[in-house]
Structure 1
Amino acid sequence: MEALCEEAIQTNERKIHLHVEAMNERAIAFYMRHGFSELDRTGDVLVMESIL
């Protein structure tokens, strides 16, 4: 996760978006611990965002 964020910063990206199955509570908790928050929810897919 740290390498992904570092690469995004080096390429001047300031946001990272990802899609997670809404029922995957462990993955959601993992991403939230790493600074992601819920951006949108469509059906069984949760879109999460981290602003760097």
Structure 2
Amino acid sequence: MEALCGEAIQTNKRKIHLHLEATNERAIAFYMRHGFSELDRTGDVLVMECVL
């Protein structure tokens, strides 16, 4: 995650969005520990965002 965020910053990106299965609690917890928050939920899809 640190490498991904570092590369995003180096290429002038300021946000990272990802889509997960809303039932994948382990993945949600992992991304939340790394600074992501819930942005939207549509059906079984959860969109998370991290502002860099």
TM bin, normalised by shorter chain, reads over 0.9
TM-score by length of 1: 0.99
The number of equivalent residue pairs is 52
Q: Which runs of 5 or more residues in structure 1 are unaligned?
A: none
How many Å apart are 1:40 and its aligned residue? 0.2
What residue number does 1:19 align with?
19
Q: Unaligned stretches of 5+ in structure 2?
A: none
Give the Å deviation of 1:30: 0.1
Structure 1 segments of 4+ aligned residues over 3 angstroms from their partners: none
Note the 1:20-39 alignment, pairs <5 A.
20-39=20-39
Percent of aligned pairs with the same amino acid: 88
Q: Normalised by the size of structure 2, how large is the TM-score?
A: 0.99
Deviation string 1:7-50 (CA, Å, 9 cap, x unpaired) is 00000000000001000000000000000000000100000000
